Amino acid sequence: MRKETTSEAVLRKLRRMIMTMELAPGSVVTELGLSDMLNCSRTPVREALQRLTSENLVVAGPRGGVIISDVSVLDLGQLLEAMEEVGATAVRLAAQRATKHDLDALRGIVGAAEQALANADYAGLTEQDVAFHQALYMAGHNRYIADVAGPLHRLFARFAYLSYARMDPSEVHNPLSEHAAVIAAIEDKDVSESKRLLAEHFRGMRDRLRGLLV
């Protein structure tokens, strides 16, 4: 396995800090402050912030700083709408094109998510949720769709993390079982069932998040 670079590690850590709101929405951060916090030079922080800007997780702030993007009910509605539309196309292509390698990758992610749930690691669970949807888009073997869809789920990660952290533990298995059902339909190359199950999954997410934000 290829070793993670310093820039990749910093990007991963900052994504998690934004997802768990350790870096709170609306707060202002600087390259210097983050490099001190992460005990690294400013270069990998600068590279990570450029990537996070392209993903709309941070925006330019005052005096060279950046602002952690806010979250709102409006954001949630628009995100889910976009995810549903892109997801319908992505899962159709996955049902037509997914390889054994793609299916194994999806199952491996569900397994990792189940392990994170067993450890009550909701940050890890959310990261696996994002990874599942990214792998689903990749299984359609259309990189343009994957490039568009991936950032949507990174934006959604904060909503998902809040949902998992506040959900009754007995209910957290629901989205994982929904993921498994989608994989089974893709393996059967059942386009209509794959689309139906993914649409149900998104409706479930919407229901679980209803009333979460005020």
Average confidence (pLDDT) per 10 residues, the chain, 214 residues: 87 95 93 95 95 91 89 79 93 97 97 92 93 95 91 89 79 84 98 96 84 55
- Residue-level pLDDT at 174: 77
Picking from 94, 114, 113, the residue whose alpha carbon sits closest to that of residue 182 is 94
Helix/strand/coil for 55: coil
- Residue-level pLDDT at 17: 96
Bridge-based pairing state of the strands 66-68 and 28-29 = antiparallel
Helix (H) or strand (E) holding 153: helix 143-166
Contact 105, 135 (CB under 8 A): yes
Helix (H) or strand (E) holding 68: strand 66-68
Contact 18, 57 (CB under 8 A): yes
* Domain residue spans of the chain: 6-68, 73-209
Query: What contacts 183, CB < 8 A, 6 or more positions away?
Result: 103, 106, 107, 110
Q: 73-209 sits in which CATH class?
A: mainly alpha
Q: Work out the angle at residue 155's Cα, subtended by the Cα atoms of residues 49 and 74, and round it to the nearest 5 degrees.
A: 125
The CATH number assigned to the domain with range 6-68 reads 1.10.10.10
194 vs 181: CA distance, rounded Å? 8
Interhelix angle 100-118/122-138, rounded to 10 degrees, is 170
pTM: 0.87
Number of CB atoms found within 10 A of residue 170's CB: 7
Q: What is the DSSP letter of 107?
A: H
